[in-house]
């Protein structure tokens, strides 16, 4: 349908004159041509209808035009605020970029968001606190450890922002995205008591040893077949096996291509990718119906598969409950009273554990091995220490880890330069109005901590870009007893406060033990054909953009 704009004249005698461009002139019987470019019509009912139709179209077009204009003028006014459009309804004195009208600073979240945010923070001179807008989402970010402590430990920031993919993947019923409250507290308590407590860590030591040696075997076998080895695949297999054992009691060889573990690996990979996507509809709700990035439809396909997979395992456990040292599925099934979980909640909790425990560990070990391949002198020092503490006549055990002081310093230094969650993975949401660093922050504001920037701040760290584990051992630098568990916000890769990572002890133990095992067995070298590319890619975790490839030399053979 085309709409024609034309002037209308209504004469006192009731004759309506439409001035139509020549090419649109229609001459039905009720019209009589009075001039070459003008049509007259008498006021019959159907002619009145035409008149109304024309004037309604005009009004409608006028209305839409005015509305669009008002919208754009309003968007420009909103955009004029420091921090951009989402900050327009708030009296705020926090400096920050305006970004673009309507979308604000969405561009900051694409690619390496931690680096982009860090450079805008410098240009806005807003290290302590910067405001910006992600579409309609009000965001604050800090690159300062004291302000980070205030945010992460504040009771106001005990929630997580809504993320469509997390909700659709059921994570709102698991620890990570559950709203702050009784349900979330119950889950944290159950996980802390049955999965992450020191006693449980001790019980699961055997499983990490078995899987660790399977990983060593796989390194050796792959190396015999190929001139170089891609470590990521082996590390992901090992950490998935570890979580399948803890959560489901499944004991698969790291090397196995058993249908169940292959299927689970695919589910975890897809979920990992979906949660890592910066979904525009989370910040621009009016886009929501269009699902422009296809996140909703991909989640819709994944969730029934996850449900089927985990439900089958739960049903098997119901049929044959384990009596001693049950896995986490047995634990969840045995809960009684107010702790008892529904089946969908159990599926969500188990799925989250598998999910969180798999990639974080593999990503961190890959960064550690990359650094040790690049810095051969540091690798040699770790191996000297292993020689001194463990010797070559027996294998490393987890009991050796506290004595491997240099290795612990290496792990800390890698966590400093390559924190797997440079923006602490999942942001926080203010549940009520609060004050941060002297600024009023309204409820509903999202807060991020740029841990990556804090860890590279020259005012905090001496020569921050230098890879130097010795900084954690040298008395003069005052970092000897530095904890990475969230008390010291200069280096808090597991977050801090009530929503800090509950798996930090398990994650750190697994990483340190498996790195010790590998370095006890092998000397890792560069692959000339590939080199070591330290470029990053930010998904849910920040991983190496190009998977690390290494060449291996057995240390046991060298000794003989
Ligand atoms: C190297 C390993 C790991 C790193 C670097 C890491 C890092 C993080 C970070 C930065 C957070 C957000 C903390 C905050 O908001 O303050 C987090 C949360 C979480 N992590 Fe980890 N994590 C690791 C291993 C694990 C493991 C092994 C598990 C479980 C098997 C796990 C389970 C969780 C859960 C459930 C949450 C959500 C906590 C909540 O919202 O209450 N993580 N992790």
Looking at residue 559, its pLDDT comes to 43
| Structure token digits, residue 267 | 């589910």
Residue 542: exposure state from Cβ atoms within 10 A (0-12, 13-18, ≥19): buried
Mean pLDDT of 544-554: 94
46 — pLDDT class (breaks 50, 70, 90): low
Residue position matching structure tokens 């398990």: 506
* Cβ 239 under 6 angstroms from ligand 1: no
CA 226/CA 216 separation, integer angstroms: 15
d(CA 173, ligand 1 centre) in Å:
16
CB distance 494 to ligand 1 below 6 Å: yes
Q: Which of ligand 1's atoms lies nearest the C-alpha of 492?
A: 10
Q: Which tens digit of pLDDT belongs to each residue from 166-211?
A: 999 988 899 999 999 999 999 999 999 999 999 999 999 999 999 9
Q: List, for residues 132-156, the tens digit of each pLDDT value.
A: 999 999 999 999 999 999 999 999 9
CA–CA dist 502, 541 (Å, integer): 17
148 lines ligand 1 (CB under 6 A): no
Residue 239's contacts (CB-CB under 8 Å, 6 or more residues apart) are 357, 358, 359, 361, 362, 510
Question: Ligand 1 pocket, 538 CB below 6 A?
Answer: no
Ranges of beta strands (E only) in 374-520 are 428-429, 434-436, 439-441, 446-449
Q: Please tell me if the CB atom of residue 161 comes closer than 6 angstroms to any atom of ligand 1.
A: no
Which residue among 177, 187, 356, 423 has the greatest number of ligand 1 atoms within 8 angstroms of its CB, and so is best to mutate?
356
Pocket test for ligand 1, best of 160, 268, 501 (most atoms within 8 A of CB): 501
Instruction: Establish whether residue 434 lines the binding site of ligand 1, counting it when its CB lies within 6 angstroms of any ligand atom.
Output: no
Residue 486 beta carbon below 6 angstroms from any ligand 1 atom: no
CATH number of 157-559: 1.10.630.10
Q: From the CB of 507, is ligand 1 less than 6 Å away? A: yes
Whether the CB-CB separation of 127 and 143 falls below 8 Å is answered with: yes
Name the segment(s) of the chain with CATH classification 1.10.630.10: 157-559
Ligand 1 center to 287 CA (angstroms): 30
Cα 184 to ligand 1 centre (Å): 14
Average pLDDT over residues 39-67: 66
Cβ atoms within 10 Å, residue 117:
25
Which atom of ligand 1 lies nearest, measured to the CA of 499? 41
Determine the distance separating the centroid of ligand 1 and the alpha carbon of 357, expressed in angstroms: 8
Q: Does the CB atom of residue 501 touch ligand 1 within 6 A?
A: yes
Cα of 493 to ligand 1 centre, how many Å? Answer: 9
Q: Let me know if 391 is exposed, middle or buried by CB neighbors in 10 A (0-12, 13-18, 19+).
A: exposed
The pair of three-digit structure tokens given for residue 402, joined into one six-digit string:
């506290």
Looking at per-residue pLDDT, the higher value among 488 and 264 belongs to: 488
Q: Which atom belonging to ligand 1 lies closest to the Cα atom of 506?
A: 27
**Which token pair is 61?**
């077009």
Query: How many Å apart are CA 219 and CA 215, to the nearest integer?
Result: 6
Non-local (6+) Cβ contacts of 315 within 8 A are none
Q: Report the separation in Å between the CA atom of 47 and the middle of ligand 1, taken as the mean of its atom positions.
A: 72
Residue 549 near residue 230 (C-beta atoms within 8 A): yes
- Selection from 225-239, 321-335, 421-435 with the highest mean pLDDT: 421-435
CB-ligand 1 contact for 240 (6 Å cutoff): no
Strands of 411-477, DSSP E: 428-429, 434-436, 439-441, 446-449
Residues 6+ apart with CB under 8 A from 522: 216, 219, 552, 553, 554, 555
Alpha carbon nearest to ligand 1 atom 40, residue: 176
**Digit-coded pLDDT (tens) for 77-95:** 666 677 889 998 888 889 9
Q: Please write the tens of the pLDDT for every residue from 10-34.
A: 444 334 444 444 334 343 433 333 3
pLDDT score of 255: 87
Q: Is pLDDT above 90 for 225? A: no
Q: Is the CB of 348 under 6 A from ligand 1?
A: no
**pTM: predicted TM-score of the whole model, two decimal places:** 0.86
- Reading the block at residue 63, the tokens are 């209305």
Residue 75 has pLDDT above 90, yes or no: no
264 lines ligand 1 (CB under 6 A): no
- The phi-psi region of residue 186 (left if phi > 0; otherwise alpha if psi is between -120 and 50; otherwise beta) is alpha
For the chain, what is the radius of gyration of the CA atoms?
31
Mean pLDDT value across the chain: 87
Q: Is 275 in the pocket of ligand 1 (CB under 6 A)?
A: no
Span of 53-67, 222-236, 267-281, 491-505 with lowest mean pLDDT: 53-67
Measured CA to CA, the distance from residue 244 to residue 265 in angstroms comes to 10
Closest ligand 1 atom to 363 CA:
1
Compute the average pLDDT of residues 303-311: 94
Q: What is the pLDDT of residue 20?
A: 43
Cα(503) to ligand 1 centroid in Å equals 6
DSSP 380: H
Is 331 exposed, middle or buried, given 0-12, 13-18 or 19+ CB atoms closer than 10 A?
Answer: middle
Paired tokens of 231? 């470590």
Summarised one tens digit per residue, pLDDT across range 404-457 is 999 999 999 999 999 999 999 889 999 999 999 999 999 999 999 999 999 999
501 is in an annotated binding site: yes
Give yes or no for residue 175 CB within 6 A of ligand 1: yes
Query: What are 185's two structure tokens?
Result: 């507290």
């Amino acid at each position: 349908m085309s709409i024609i704009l034309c002037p209308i004249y209504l004469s006192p005698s009731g004759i309506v004159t439409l001035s139509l461009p020549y090419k649109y002139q229609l001459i039905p019987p009720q019209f009589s041509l009075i001039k070459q470019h003008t049509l007259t019509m008498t006021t019959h009912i159907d002619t009145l209808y035409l008149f109304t139709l024309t004037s309604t179209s005009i009004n409608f077009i006028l209305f839409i035009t005015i509305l669009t204009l008002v919208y754009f003028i309003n968007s420009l006014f909103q955009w004029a605020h420091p921090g951009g459009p989402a900050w327009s309804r708030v009296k705020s004195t926090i400096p920050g970029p305006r970004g673009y009208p309507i979308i604000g600073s969405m561009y900051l979240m694409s690619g390496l968001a931690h680096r982009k945010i860090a450079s805008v923070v410098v240009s806005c001179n807003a290290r302590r606190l910067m405001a910006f807008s992600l579409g309609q989402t009000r965001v604050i970010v800090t690159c300062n450890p004291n302000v980070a402590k205030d945010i992460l430990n504040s009771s106001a920031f005990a929630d997580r922002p809504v993320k469509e993919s997390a909700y659709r993947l059921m994570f709102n019923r698991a620890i990570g995205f559950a709203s702050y409250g009784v349900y979330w507290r119950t889950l944290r308590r159950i996980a802390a008591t049955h999965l992450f407590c020191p006693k449980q860590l001790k019980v699961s030591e055997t499983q990490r040893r078995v899987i660790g040696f399977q990983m060593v075997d796989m390194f050796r076998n792959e190396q015999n077949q190929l001139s170089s080895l891609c470590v990521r695949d082996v590390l992901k297999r090992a950490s998935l096996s570890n979580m399948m054992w803890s959560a489901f009691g499944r004991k698969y060889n790291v090397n196995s291509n058993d249908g169940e573990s292959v299927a689970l690996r695919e589910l975890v990979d897809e979920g990992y990718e979906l949660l890592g996507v910066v979904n525009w509809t989370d910040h621009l709700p009016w886009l929501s119906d269009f699902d422009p990035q296809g996140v909703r439809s991909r989640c819709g396909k994944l969730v029934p598969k996850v449900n089927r997979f985990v439900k089958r395992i739960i049903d098997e456990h119901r049929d044959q409950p384990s009596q001693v040292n049950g896995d986490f599925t047995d634990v969840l099934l045995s809960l009684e009273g107010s702790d008892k979980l529904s089946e969908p909640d159990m599926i969500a909790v188990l799925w989250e554990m598998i999910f969180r425990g798999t990639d974080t560990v593999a990503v961190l070990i890959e960064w550690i091995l990359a650094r040790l391949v690049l810095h051969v002198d540091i690798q040699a020092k770790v191996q000297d220490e292993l020689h001194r503490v463990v010797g070559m006549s027996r294998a490393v055990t987890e009991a050796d880890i506290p004595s491997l002081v240099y290795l612990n310093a290496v792990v800390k230094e890698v966590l400093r330069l390559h924190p797997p969650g440079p923006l602490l993975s999942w942001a926080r949401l203010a549940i009520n109005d609060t004050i941060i660093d002297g600024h009023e922050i309204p409820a509903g504001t999202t807060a991020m901590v740029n841990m990556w920037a804090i860890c590279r701040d020259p005012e905090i760290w001496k020569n921050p870009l230098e890879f130097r584990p010795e900084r954690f051992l040298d008395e003069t630098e005052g970092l000897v007893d530095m904890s990475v568990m969230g008390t010291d916000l200069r280096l808090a890769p597991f977050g801090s406060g009530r929503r800090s990572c509950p798996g930090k002890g398990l994650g750190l133990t697994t990483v340190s033990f498996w790195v010790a095992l590998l370095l006890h067995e092998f000397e890792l070298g560069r692959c000339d054909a590939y080199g070591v590319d330290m470029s990053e890619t930010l998904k849910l975790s920040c991983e190496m953009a190009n998977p690390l490839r290494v060449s291996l030399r057995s240390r046991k053979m060298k000794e003989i």
